[in-house]
Chain A
Amino acid sequence: MIERLNVKNGFVILATILAASAFAWPLFATALPQQAQAAVPVVVFALVPALIVVISLLLDGAVSSSKTLALLGLLAAVGAAVRIASTGVGGFEAVFIILILGGRAYGARFGFLLGMLTIALSSILWGGFGPWTAFQMFAAGWVGAGAGLIPGRITGVADKAARRREIMWLIAYGVIASYLFGALMNLWFWPFGVGPETSISYLPAGSLPDNLSRFGIYTLVTSTLTWDTVRALTTGIGLALIGVPALKALRRAKL
């Protein structure tokens, strides 16, 4: 039983690494032979949704209890409601609070699935399905999973100071995750988002350092200083305001 679980976990990690490298395709596609380069985006677009399916099937058995499923479904609905309700102020901000708290309270696997399902659900309800949906599902899944993996997790009874410390960890994580999420979502999209012949364009024949610096400017100017900062602020402030009682509320349900 334990061995089978470990093999499964190994596959989950493998699929995650594959997906992460799919996000970074602009950085290594240049190293491939010229004939193969044109195929890379097509492969990436097919690979990421396929990995979503694979990872869902791998994690399916781990969330089979009725309590986990009911929590996962209802929290995804709350996340989608928050996401759709806050679209007016830039889209993605407040939903990070739910993902981080969910991943923290119920663990990395739960957090990953919560992120994936929240994006899937809000896309179904609101429209906005696109080539980006699968990428968003992965990136949001990582945000939720990360919250379950970072240290300082409280188990059992804890005093107020320990709870505050835990929230400080989460705030720091939330801010970093906000920026990383933005950068990751920019990375795979960058060659499409900016056409050729600008100073921030992707160069199919360029060197890695050259492309990295161009990408750096692109992501800094188009999102790091704007959307990502708004997201980092709302996530950080939101966690500071409601983190302690919200985590306590979530932990009232024992999985």
Chain B
Amino acid sequence: MWSFFHKLGSPPWLFGIAGSILRWLLPITLVALAVGLVWGLLFTHPDFRQGNSYRIIYIHVPAAVVALAGYYVMAIAGAVSLVWKMKMADVAMRACAPIGAALTFIALVTGSIWGKPTWGTWWVWDARITSMLILLFLYLGVVALYEAYDNKEAAGKACAVLSLVGTVNIPIIYKSVDWWYSLHQPASIRFTGGSTIDASMLYPLLLMIVAFYCLFTCCLLMNMRAELVEREARTNWVRKLARAGEARA
């Protein structure tokens, strides 16, 4: 167990294991996304009230769910880098921010497009949508804050504090549709009690949620590999990698 954590702190080991995981996880992700999309778009029936516009659910909900979970990953990585000064946790925290921002952007844009035929408006300043917009600003804030510092150690600490403070927003997003009156519908999938979505629509949705979790993991590993070679540019293993790439070209 401890030897695993010890290995996690080794950049070349982490770079290698991330590459090995990506070799099988990336094809699985692409297949799951393709199957989920075809299933949701072609093989499900329209919603009795929303018609075919509900098919946006197969990208909107997975993007939103994983954007929220990704924030916890970023905050936990930030806490580990603050408390145990683990450099690889700092790498993971920095790698999470652009992916989370992209997923939150997808959730907001697809939600807005879905809103027009369903609610008659592209945007409302209700609790769910506004707190998701704050989530996007938190992710972008972490990206911008890191770039603003010349001293990357200080940048890492500031980003870790920002990501930890921002966790307050996550339960607010989850519970916003229950706490405040909102145009946004409450959660359709419930782990306690019955889901309010038909099984024929639920299964492709669950597949897409799994596919988006896999997508998040792939992007996280790819961003970490890019970040690692930049941080470790002076080390022999990265120089060897650069020379090997040059020899192949």
A binds B: no
